[in-house]
Amino acid sequence: MDPEEPGLLLPGAAPFVWPIFMSIPPTPLSTWARNVSPSPTLAVDAKAKALQAAGEDVCGFAAGEPDFDTPDHIKEACIVALRAGKTKYAPTPGIEPLRVAIAERYFTDYQHKVAASQVVVSPGGKFSCYLGVLATCSPGDEVIVPAPFWVSYPEMVKLAGAVPKLVLADDRTGFKLTPALLESAITPRTKLVILNSPSNPTGAVYTRAELEALVAVAVKHNLYILSDEMYEHLVYDGATPTCVATLSQEAEARTMIVAGFSKTYAMTGWRIGTLVAPSPIAKAVAELQSQISSNVTTFAQYGALAALKEKEKTAAALKTMLAAFDRRRKYLHAELNKIPGLKCLLAEGAFYLFPNISSFGLKDLEFCNRLLDTERVAAVPGSAFGAEGYLRLSYATSDEIIAKGVERLARFCRSLR
């Protein structure tokens, strides 16, 4: 029973008061429950949304999802499946035609040959990542997480009983881990390294050669690799995404590729992610999933199938979204660099910029709180991603909000100098 649930009130009844003794657990909650940190990006977004709901004019740069709606042909395929009674349990790793289509698209996109049996469809790329960690790491194992990192990586490593080892790669290396940095973080307990290109939060895209050099270190130390390629299709300026498993046979043998539908096709609420790995790992991931969540919502998988099968419609929708993202990216980057004291690299991927605000003499958390309080601009502090002194600005929002928001940010920065 939820104490805040208003539906519990009978008309005219006195408000239900939750007994105080029931808000204190009779015995401590688990170490998992006590050690997990709530998502800080969601917290800023929630505060901004609360202000907005109260009628305030907030410019939100905090959201981590496309501002577009899911393309119609994808929705239609899901509705058709629902009407056709695709409402029962499906095989845990995904409906067969979807696994086949995912395997095929890796060949089309990267000439990477995979069997449908190596594909596991999970409730969101986030869950795919977590299952990948669970399948490869035991309690006490160490996992290298390059910072700035996507907020969930350290938490999911901890929830597997493993230990996150954070390695900072700041704007001096373009937010990219170098082989020397990676090497310096490896110990005999290291089991896995997480790579994420294009990156959330920085938008950095590694080149093929850069990834080859990192993979060589992972091979030398016999590490698994979790390559989070969630933003593979959101790249600009002619940058090309690299599928880490295609770099060599040794890379393929140790790499779990995570990708999905959320960011590329504006399908965040559908909860569909994909993991592709060598058979023994894929099998382990599917078995873990069978006991934790079972299959992704059956009719939703038919929408994902349409995204892959109706190629022309999907490509057209993606092209429109990419053009908007690219226009906003260039505009926001140019405006940010006009602000005295602020420095911002031009990221080649995802939908984020990650400007350096360290010259203003404020901790980034205080910077963001004051920015929201005084100018009604929502941004996420870099420290949420393990990199103090930066902001993450998402440009997955309208051109008008970006223009207005960056003007307010400029005024705020002037007030600090």
Ligand X SMILES: *Cc1c(COP(=O)(O)O)cnc(C)c1O
Of 262 and 356, the one with the shorter C-beta distance to ligand X is 262
Of 277 and 342, the one with the shorter C-beta distance to ligand X is 277
Which pair of tokens denotes residue 322? 């990419």
Of 150 and 236, the one with the shorter C-beta distance to ligand X is 150
If DSSP codes are grouped into helix, strand and coil, which group holds residue 392? strand
Of 255 and 268, the one with the shorter C-beta distance to ligand X is 268
Going by C-beta distance under 8 Å and a sequence separation of 6 or more, which residues neighbour residue 136?
A: 191, 192, 224, 226, 256, 281
- The yes or no reply on residue 230 touching ligand X (CB under 6 A) is yes
Q: Which parts of 169-325 are beta strand (E)?
A: 190-196, 224-228, 255-260, 273-276
- The yes or no reply on residue 70 touching ligand X (CB under 6 A) is no
Of 128 and 358, the one with the shorter C-beta distance to ligand X is 128
8 A C-beta contact, residue 163 and residue 187 = no
In angstroms, what is the minimal distance from the CB of 123 to ligand X?
8
In the shown chain, the binding pattern of residues 141 to 180 toward ligand X, with x for contact by CB under 6 A and - for none, equals ---------x------------------------------
Distance CA 91, CA 105 (A): 21
- The yes or no reply on residue 273 touching ligand X (CB under 6 A) is yes
Exactly one of 126, 158, 176, 233 binds ligand X (CB under 6 A); that residue is: 126
Sheet strands side by side (includes 142-147): 119-122, 273-276, 255-260, 224-228, 190-196, 142-147, 163-168
In angstroms, what is the minimal distance from the CB of 189 to ligand X?
25
Of 196 and 295, the one with the shorter C-beta distance to ligand X is 196
In angstroms, what is the minimal distance from the CB of 380 to ligand X?
12
- The yes or no reply on residue 263 touching ligand X (CB under 6 A) is yes
In angstroms, what is the minimal distance from the CB of 228 to ligand X?
5
CA 304 to chain CA centroid, Å, is: 18
Bridge partners of 235?
349
Sign of CA dihedral 111, 260, 126, 282: negative
Segment near ligand X (CB under 6 A); pick from 4-12, 261-269, 377-385, 387-395: 261-269
Segment near ligand X (CB under 6 A); pick from 50-58, 118-126, 136-144, 213-221: 118-126
- The yes or no reply on residue 196 touching ligand X (CB under 6 A) is yes
- The yes or no reply on residue 268 touching ligand X (CB under 6 A) is yes
Going by C-beta distance under 8 Å and a sequence separation of 6 or more, which residues neighbour residue 139?
A: 160, 161, 162
Q: Round the CA-based radius of gyration of the chain to a whole number and report it.
A: 22
289-315 burial string, b = 16+ CB within 10 Å, else e?
Answer: beeeeebbbbbbbbbbbbbbbbeeebe
Of 230 and 413, the one with the shorter C-beta distance to ligand X is 230
In angstroms, what is the minimal distance from the CB of 413 to ligand X?
27
- The yes or no reply on residue 200 touching ligand X (CB under 6 A) is yes
Segment near ligand X (CB under 6 A); pick from 119-127, 134-142, 155-163, 398-406: 119-127
Which pair of tokens denotes residue 301? 């998988």
- The yes or no reply on residue 260 touching ligand X (CB under 6 A) is yes
Of 228 and 252, the one with the shorter C-beta distance to ligand X is 228
Size of the site for ligand X (CB under 6 A): 14
Distance CA 19, CA 17 (A): 6
Exactly one of 246, 262, 298, 356 binds ligand X (CB under 6 A); that residue is: 262
- The yes or no reply on residue 303 touching ligand X (CB under 6 A) is no
CA 164 to chain CA centroid, Å, is: 17
Of 120 and 413, the one with the shorter C-beta distance to ligand X is 120
If DSSP codes are grouped into helix, strand and coil, which group holds residue 394? strand
Query: What is the DSSP code string of 315-366?
Result: HHHHHHHHHHHHHHHHHHHHHHTTSTT-B-----BTTEE--B-GGG-S-HHH
Interface residues with ligand X (CB under 6 A)? 64, 124-126, 150, 196, 200, 228, 230, 260, 262-263, 268, 273
